[in-house]
């Protein structure tokens, strides 16, 4: 068993679940968070034979990240990898978006990632080792009507990634973003069929993008094989941005 410990937010479904499974396959200890899917979280923990453990967490809870990091490090050891994957959506035309919906999305997707980064960074900086991967979205760089709040939060995440990489690079802490295209997960299950078809139409590869494809890139960026990569936003989108 590796001595490495990685925290994955939103690890009970979609890309997060694929990341947890990929890390477990590498024999890395994983702490992952979930908000409501306790059954799915328990299933993932059970199939990992105790190598992964789930913890309840709401991205908008301002005090929880610091407590979460202390809890994980007391149980598993120092966190040397963080994957900010958890996110929420509140779709709607900008002109009809309420302040509450806008605040919820930006606070969860961008504020939650900021607070998780802030919580793990003191340890990573003092150990002069660590890797953070923020999961953004293709909507941050390619427009999708009705996702103004979501796109703004994910574009902000890319900006934060680049700035933070400059702040902590001299301490050998790397920060990157992964930009998935259309990945068929529970998060997009409610999108109208015509929108899904439009998003698929711009892909260059007929196979599309699976959660496992995004997970493979994330696990690579967490590893020492990516030791010269930081401050990057790398698309895994079946060629949508080609």
Catalytic residues: 150
In the chain, which residue ranges form alpha helices assigned H by DSSP? 14-25, 38-47, 64-75, 99-106, 112-127, 148-168, 193-201, 211-222
CA 152 – CA 144 distance, rounded (Å): 11
Half-sphere exposure (CA, 13 Å, Cβ side) for 233? Answer: 22
| Residue of 166, 165, 59 lying closest to 109 (CA atoms) | 59
Alpha-carbon gap, residue 25 to 63, rounded angstroms: 32
d(CA 181, CA 241): 9
Q: What is the distance, to the nearest Å, from the Cα of residue 59 to the centroid of all Cα atoms in its chain?
A: 12
Q: What is the largest CA-CA distance in the chain?
A: 52
């Amino acid at each position: 068993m590796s001595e490495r410990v990685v925290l994955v937010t939103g690890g009970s479904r979609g890309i997060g679940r694929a990341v947890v499974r990929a890390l477990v396959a590498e024999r890395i200890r994983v702490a992952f968070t979930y908000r409501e899917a306790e059954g799915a979280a328990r299933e993932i923990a059970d199939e990992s034979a105790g190598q992964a453990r789930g913890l309840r967490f709401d991205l908008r809870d301002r005090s929880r990240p610091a407590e979460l990091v202390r809890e994980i490090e007391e149980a598993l050891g120092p966190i040397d990898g963080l994957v900010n994957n958890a996110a929420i959506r509140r779709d709607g035309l900008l002109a009809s978006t309420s302040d509450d919906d806008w605040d919820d999305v930006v606070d969860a997707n961008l504020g939650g990632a900021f607070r998780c980064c802030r919580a793990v960074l003191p340890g990573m900086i003092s150990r002069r080792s660590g890797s953070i991967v923020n999961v953004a979205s293709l909507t941050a760089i390619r427009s999708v009507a009705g996702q103004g709040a979501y796109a703004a939060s994910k574009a902000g995440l890319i900006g934060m990634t680049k700035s933070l990489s400059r702040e902590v690079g001299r301490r050998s802490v790397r920060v990157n973003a992964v930009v998935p295209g259309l990945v068929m997960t529970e998060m997009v299950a409610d999108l109208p069929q015509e929108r899904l078809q439009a998003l698929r139409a711009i892909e260059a590869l007929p196979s599309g993008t699976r959660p496992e494809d995004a997970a493979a890139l994330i696990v690579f960026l967490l590893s020492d094989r990516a030791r010269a990569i930081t401050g990057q936003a790398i698309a895994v989108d079946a060629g949508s941005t080609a």
